[in-house]
Amino acid sequence: MLPTRDSYMSEMIRSELADAVGDEHVLVDEAEKLGHSVDYYWMAEMWHDRGMRNPTPDFVVRPGTTEEVAKVLRIANTYKIPVTPWGGGSGSQGGALPIYNGIILDVKRLNRIIEVDPVSMTVKVESGINTQHLEWALEKQGYSTMHYPASIACATLGGFLAHRGTGVLSTKYGKIEDMVMSLEVVLPTGEIIKTLPVPRHASGPDLTQMFLGSEGTLGVMTQATLKIHPIPECRKFHAFLFKDMTTAMAAGRGIMLSRLRPCVVRLYDEPETKRLIKRVLGIDKAGAYLVFGFDGPREMVDFELARACAICREGNPEDLGTELGELWWQHRYKFFYPPFMFHLPQAFGTLDTVATFANIEKVYWAMKNTVEQNFTGVAYIGHFSHWYEWGCMLYARFIMDEPPQDPREAARLYNKIWDQAIRAAIREGGVINEHHGVGLKLGRLMKDLYGPAFVVLQGIKKTLDPNNIMNPGKMGFEGV
Amino acid sequence: MRSETLTNVIEACRFCFMCRHLATVGNVTFRESDTPRGTALILDKVRRDPALLQCADYVECLYRNALSGACRKHCVSSYDEVGLVLAAREDIVAVGAAPKAVAVLAETLERTGNPFGAAARTGAKRRAATTADVLYFVDPYAAHKQPEIAAAFLAAAKALGVKVLPVEGVDAGKALLVLGYRDQAAKAAKRVRKLVAESGCKTVVTSCPACFDAFKNDYPRLGAGFGAKVAIEHSGAFLLKVLEAKKPKISKRGKAKVFYLDSDFLRNYNGIVDEPRALLRALGLALLPFGTNPEESCACGEGAVVSDVLHPGVVSLLRARVEELADDPAHDTLVVASPYTKHVLVSGVRPLKVKTLDEVVAERIG
């Protein structure tokens, strides 16, 4: 039982937390509680919008060192207080919401770049750093993480680590889990550990990969060593318009199976080409818009670009040229700014999933049919934006222009769409998420995805976090 | 409530995170509430329940805002997050919920014409006793904290053969406006307009970007515009024009490499990016990019005009951020466009080497 907020016990805990991190870093003011009550999850936004009360933290605690994180977790263990890590707060899955109140562990003060190693091309950095700030600092020295997500301006590195995030250059440079060399982690019980210094080894299972994507349920990742890259000599783009998504998919698949190494491949289905490519880029054409890019030494880029274009031309597309490819690159983040991004009163959700080339179109159609046939007034659009040698990611979205006004009714309908669409994806070989994570939104579907294997995850959680203080109720794990 | 006129901004910003890397105060306090999203969430609550304007935590947050305009400039849709906070401050003042420190500061500004409560300097010209083509308006920071700036401008003008009428000790009203005291700001603006009219000047020049913005953008809205026949110039742009016209001999003395730190009011409010840089290049200086990026505000709270008086702790953090971004803070020469920013940057425990554009001009042509 948590102490009530107006009890002296609450003040006792506050004093102990202040002793650990400094009085000015234990916040209880209303402005800060409000700021930590809503993340980028539609449900929390809608709840706020309808005048409902979102759960708020009892304390916003802001450690400045790894040791301070450890102290806070030990205190939380003593009193069995839920701890919810918070970075930029821009997650879309509700993973950072303090659903059981307790402590919000805001890690933004952990923002130091500890070391740039130019010999191995790595950077050791604290996890609370704003990723745009990290990228700017590296660019000044001639390097880049090549991690360019739409949320680069707002999310912390820890957020990407916690949710296995990805950026627009992932097709060449990988997702965040491909970029990490090693981690420093504070376990739920307060021990500080480091994973092995290199990501390739035969020294047992990979602890680094176990913590990546754990969404604050297994501890707090306080430092990471990342690979970095030289700024490429050039980066070029090209765009085509195909008659339909299937023909364009064949072209994209052809590029990947040829083992060319594009940094970007992005294919928009016909509805999204009509709706968003027109609105954001001003390209008013019917069909499926495909853009790709290459970077590196100029001669190599020109060669690969020409080969990729040749592969595309086999599908008889309209050649939109370099200019309309560059246009996408220049405006790649514009899609996410208001008013271009979907927003209330609309209900919307990103059903991102990933599957092999053999399955990805089946996943697309299964979700699309589920959404459009079972829910009146709900549109489905999608694009394929992170490509692998074996398949690609589908960034599908549903949009409901007029959801119910009653917040409970809206929540029920919203969850029903998610349940049915995600289960349809799983049946066709998809997963519940590709790069936004699970959080509160999709936790209930983890058992559907993992089946008996979910017991393994539950066992790890129970072993590392015996008092279940770390982000309880998320990822399908037990609540308080 | 005035903030209700900006409901579109509240609705756009309350769930948007796309500019938080540029949230000037949020970047140093690490508070969620010190971002445009945080303030929009607060004002979204307030519009549903106006009684929350009395919430001291909310009010404190709204007054901590540095109003740098960096987020608005970055936003692809230019949502006016600055205007929203200014409107909210007017609402706060209207319901009598301004913090005591704000109310005291406003009273001081009205009574003395400056935020320090200082008496006018001996010999300061508060009236246009004579007429001149160019009126030079001296702001409180240049008058009371950095008198070398006005001296440099006047020396440069003299060397370039420009006759200038200096005026100081008169409040431009900008600080009152950003604190939420619109009516008092309008009175101040009308006093300045009268003074300008009496001087018969054709150009009003000031080294203070806040005053420049007030004259150019606020005064017409307050019913105190100078009229189409009076040009308004920041001293940097004015001196650049004179230099280009008169082509004086430029001295090669002094450090050849400098870093220019943009002013909030010049860059983010008025889109003036090139002129200060062109001026420095015209003076034969090698201009290096400051920090890691061209978007972040390094003006230390200039947008809030009197930040150092109201929130010295926050300003100290903003100053530390500039130091952190500098390549070599002990040796770099930083050039700024604002007496306020210079005052903050030279007031730390380890003062930085800072000059204003006016001082650089005076050095190079003197």
Cα–Cα dist A127/B111, whole Å: 49
Based on the domain organization, do A119 and A224 belong to the same domain? yes
Specify the range with the lowest mean pLDDT, choosing from A161-165, A356-360, B248-252: B248-252
Query: Which stretch of DSSP H or E encloses residue B172?
Result: none
Nearest by CB: B17 against A88, A136, A139: A88
Mean pLDDT of A181-208: 98
Does residue A456 register a pLDDT over 90? yes
Could you report the per-residue pLDDT of A76-93, keeping only the tens digit for each?
999 999 999 999 999 999
Q: What pLDDT is stored for residue A136 in this prediction?
A: 98
Q: Is residue A377 part of a domain?
A: yes
Q: What pLDDT is stored for residue A285 in this prediction?
A: 93
Q: What pLDDT is stored for residue A3 in this prediction?
A: 62
Interchain pair B58, A30: CB under 8 A: yes
Q: What pLDDT is stored for residue B128 in this prediction?
A: 53
Contacts of A96 in chain B (CB under 8 A): none
Flag whether residue B17 sits within 8 Å of chain A, measured between CB atoms.
yes
Q: What pLDDT is stored for residue B125 in this prediction?
A: 60
Q: Is residue A478 part of a domain?
A: no
Flag whether residue B78 sits within 8 Å of chain A, measured between CB atoms.
no
CATH code, A421: 3.30.300.330
Contacts of B37 in chain A (CB under 8 A): 35
Q: How far apart are the first and last CA of chain B?
A: 53
Contacts of A337 in chain B (CB under 8 A): 16, 18, 75-77
Cα–Cα dist B74/B81, whole Å: 11
Q: Is residue A203 part of a domain?
A: yes
CATH topology match: B134-244 vs B250-365: yes
Cα–Cα dist A429/A360, whole Å: 8
Contacts of B11 in chain A (CB under 8 A): 338, 343-344
Mean pLDDT of A362-368: 98
Flag whether residue B324 sits within 8 Å of chain A, measured between CB atoms.
no
Q: What pLDDT is stored for residue A2 in this prediction?
A: 62
Give the structural domain span for A242.
234-336
Cα–Cα dist A234/A291, whole Å: 17
Based on the domain organization, do A293 and A312 belong to the same domain? yes
At B9, is the secondary structure helix, strand, or coil?
helix
Structure tokens at B239: 């001196």
The residue among B14, B30, B37, B75 with the most chain A CBs within 10 A of its CB, best to mutate, is: B30
Based on the domain organization, do A354 and A374 belong to the same domain? yes
Cα–Cα dist B14/B65, whole Å: 16
pLDDT tier, A4 (very low <50, low <70, confident <90, very high otherwise):
low
The residue among A45, A50, A337, A342 with the most chain B CBs within 10 A of its CB, best to mutate, is: A337
Chain B residue closest to A139 (CA)? B292
Cα–Cα dist A217/A195, whole Å: 17
Pairing mode, strands A83-86 and A103-106: parallel
DSSP assignment of B45-96: HHHH-GGGGG-HHHHHHHHH-----HHHHH-TT---HHHHHHHHHHHHHHTT
Smallest CA-to-CA distance from A71 within A147, A118, A11, A20 is with A20
Residue extents of the structural domains in chain B = 2-98, 134-244, 250-365
B146, B339 in Cβ contact below 8 A?
A: yes
Mean pLDDT of A276-292: 93
At B139, is the secondary structure helix, strand, or coil?
coil
Residues of chain A that touch chain B, judged by Cβ-Cβ distance less than 8 Å: 27, 29-32, 34-36, 38, 40, 45, 48, 51, 62, 88-90, 106, 108-109, 130, 132-133, 136-137, 139-140, 151-155, 333-334, 336-341, 343-344
Q: Is residue A299 part of a domain?
A: yes
Does residue A124 register a pLDDT over 60? yes
ipTM of the complex model:
0.95
How is residue B6 annotated by DSSP? G
Q: What pLDDT is stored for residue B120 in this prediction?
A: 72
Flag whether residue B54 sits within 8 Å of chain A, measured between CB atoms.
no
Flag whether residue B186 sits within 8 Å of chain A, measured between CB atoms.
no
Based on the domain organization, do A224 and A238 belong to the same domain? no
User: What is the residue type of A153?
Assistant: A
**A86 strand-pairing partners:** A106
Q: Is residue A94 part of a domain?
A: yes
Chain B residue closest to A28 (CA)? B57
More confident: B252 or A283: A283
Q: Which CATH architecture has domain B250-365?
A: 3-Layer(aba) Sandwich (3.40)
Does residue A146 register a pLDDT over 90? yes
How is residue B310 annotated by DSSP? H
Q: Is residue A44 part of a domain?
A: yes
A471, A216 in Cβ contact below 8 A?
A: yes
Interchain pair A130, B20: CB under 8 A: yes
Structure tokens at A136: 């700017």
The 3-class secondary structure across chain A, one letter per residue, is: CCCCCCCHHHHHHHHHHHHHHCHHHEECCHHHHHHCCCCCCHHHHHHHHCCCCCCCCCEEECCCCHHHHHHHHHHHHHHCCCEEEECCCCCCCCCCCCCCCCEEEECCCCCCEEEEECCCCEEEEECCCEHHHHHHHHHHCCEECCCCCCCCCCCEHHHHHHHCCCCCCHHHHCCHHHHEEEEEEECCCCCEEECCCCCCCCCCCCHHHHHCCCCCCCCEEEEEEEECEECCCEEEEEEEEECCHHHHHHHHHHHHHCCCCCCEEEEECHHHHHHHHHHHHCCCCCCEEEEEEEEECHHHHHHHHHHHHHHHHCCCCEEEECHHHHHHHHCCCHHHCCCCCCCCCCEEEEEEEEEEHHHHHHHHHHHHHHHHHHCCCEEEEEEEEEECCCEEEEEEEEEECCCCCCHHHHHHHHHHHHHHHHHHHHHCCCCCCCCCCCCCCCHHHHHHHHHHHHHHHHHHHHHHCCCCCECCCCCCCCCC
Within 10 Å of residue B117's Cβ, how many Cβ atoms?
15
How much of chain A, in percent, has pLDDT values that exceed 70?
99
Cα–Cα dist A379/B320, whole Å: 49
Flag whether residue B106 sits within 8 Å of chain A, measured between CB atoms.
no
Q: What pLDDT is stored for residue B63 in this prediction?
A: 98
Q: Which CATH class is domain B134-244?
A: alpha beta
Across chain B, the runs of DSSP E, i.e. the strands, are 134-138, 164-168, 203-206, 231-234, 257-261, 286-288, 333-336, 353-356
Chain A residue closest to B49 (CA)? A51
Contacts of A153 in chain B (CB under 8 A): 17-22
Could you report the per-residue pLDDT of A392-416, keeping only the tens digit for each?
999 999 999 999 999 999 999 999 9
Task: Report how far apart, in Å, the C-alpha atoms of B183 and of each of B67, B200, B309, B339 are.
Answer: 20, 26, 22, 26
Nearest by CB: B16 against A88, A130, A338: A338
Q: Is residue A276 part of a domain?
A: yes
Mean pLDDT of A428-439: 97
User: What is the residue type of A49?
Assistant: D
Contacts of A333 in chain B (CB under 8 A): 18
CATH code, A66: 3.30.43.10
Based on the domain organization, do A223 and A133 belong to the same domain? yes
Q: Is residue A243 part of a domain?
A: yes
Q: What pLDDT is stored for residue B119 in this prediction?
A: 85
Instruction: Chain B: give the shortest CA distance to residue A154, in Å.
Output: 5
Flag whether residue B79 sits within 8 Å of chain A, measured between CB atoms.
yes
CATH code, A130: 3.30.465.10
The total number of structural domains in chain A stands at 4
Cα–Cα dist A41/B49, whole Å: 24
Based on the domain organization, do A61 and A118 belong to the same domain? no
Based on the domain organization, do A177 and A278 belong to the same domain? no
Interchain pair A31, B19: CB under 8 A: no
Intervals of chain B under pLDDT 70:
121-129, 253-255
Interchain pair B292, A133: CB under 8 A: yes
Contacts of A34 in chain B (CB under 8 A): 33, 38, 41-42, 45
At B260, is the secondary structure helix, strand, or coil?
strand
